[in-house]
């Protein structure tokens, strides 16, 4: 598995974890109160911050542990194993472009919902959450498309 | 998606004919990752014309000896 593919898996799981944690926290806080009355702003920003930070730290960890794993394999087999290349090559770039293109279409389409909610002058809670969900959905679709391309061909 | 190209190649055979060149060696020569060489070898990725020429050059053979495309009939 290439470094970029590992990074895509990392993005997928951290996005799912960050969003799931956010939903559990906000819904848990409601406790009989209407959802739009719940204090959600700080949790939402923390959730987004977590995903960004986890991806930065995770990519560094992937590079370090990847190299350690190569050294261990080399020592165990007695044959020098090739290191992971941490630069995007032409295939990584093409797959990334394709995934981001599809993700962009999903984001553009999903953004119709918060746009409609804003026009309808509903509570900020629903607009912010519809936007967050659109970003998460776009990220998940984009990452999934990339992973299918890596696994099954492009 | 599955196999997305009709283009086949002889990279594996050429590697073995060239002093058992490893996928990592070939990747290093043409400036891509080892996983990309694997994907090209297995027909899961059609390389650009430029990469195709670089692969042929790495083996010192014409492009036709590396990549093959089936006749229309």
Q: What is the pLDDT of residues A1-46, one digit of tens each?
A: 888 999 999 999 999 999 999 999 999 888 888 888 888 999 999 9
Whether residues A148 and B1 touch (CB distance < 8 A) is answered with yes
Mean pLDDT of A42-63: 94
Q: Which residue among A5, A82, A91 places its CB closest to the CB of B45?
A: A91
Average pLDDT score, chain A: 91
B-side interface with A, Cβ within 8 Å?
A: 1-5, 22, 24, 27, 31-36, 39, 43-45, 47-48, 51
ipTM for this prediction: 0.79
B45 exposure class (CB count in 10 Å sphere: 0-12, 13-18, 19+) = buried
Q: Can you give the pLDDT at residue A49?
A: 96
Q: Which residue in chain A is spatially nearest to B50 when comparing CA positions? A: A90
pLDDT at A75 over 70: yes
Mean pLDDT of B52-57: 95
pLDDT at A51 over 60: yes
Do A51 and A12 form a contact (C-beta atoms < 8 A)? no
Do A106 and A137 form a contact (C-beta atoms < 8 A)? yes
Size of interface A-B (CB pairs under 8 A): 53
């Amino acid at each position: 598995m290439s470094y970029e593919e590992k990074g895509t898996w990392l993005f997928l799981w951290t996005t799912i974890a960050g969003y799931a944690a956010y939903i559990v926290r906000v819904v848990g806080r409601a406790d009989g109160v209407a959802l739009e009355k719940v204090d959600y702003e700080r949790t939402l920003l923390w959730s987004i911050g977590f995903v960004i930070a986890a991806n930065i730290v995770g990519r560094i960890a992937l590079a370090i542990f990847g190299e350690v794993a190569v050294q261990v394999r080399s020592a165990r087999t007695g044959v020098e194993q090739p290191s992971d290349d941490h630069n995007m090559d032409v295939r990584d770039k093409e797959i990334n472009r394709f995934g981001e293109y599809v993700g962009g279409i999903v984001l553009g389409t999903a953004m119709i919902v918060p746009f409609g909610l804003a026009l309808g002058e509903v509570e900020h809670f629903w607009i912010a959450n519809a936007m967050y969900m659109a970003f998460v959905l776009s990220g998940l679709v984009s990452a999934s498309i990339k992973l299918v391309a890596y696994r099954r061909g492009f | 998606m599955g196999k997305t190209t009709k283009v086949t190649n002889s990279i594996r055979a050429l590697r073995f004919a060239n002093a058992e060149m490893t996928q990592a060696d070939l990747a290093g020569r043409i400036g891509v990752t080892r996983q990309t060489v694997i994907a090209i070898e297995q027909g899961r990725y059609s390389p650009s014309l430029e990469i195709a020429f670089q692969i042929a050059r790495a083996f010192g053979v014409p492009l036709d000896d590396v990549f093959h495309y089936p006749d229309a009939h």
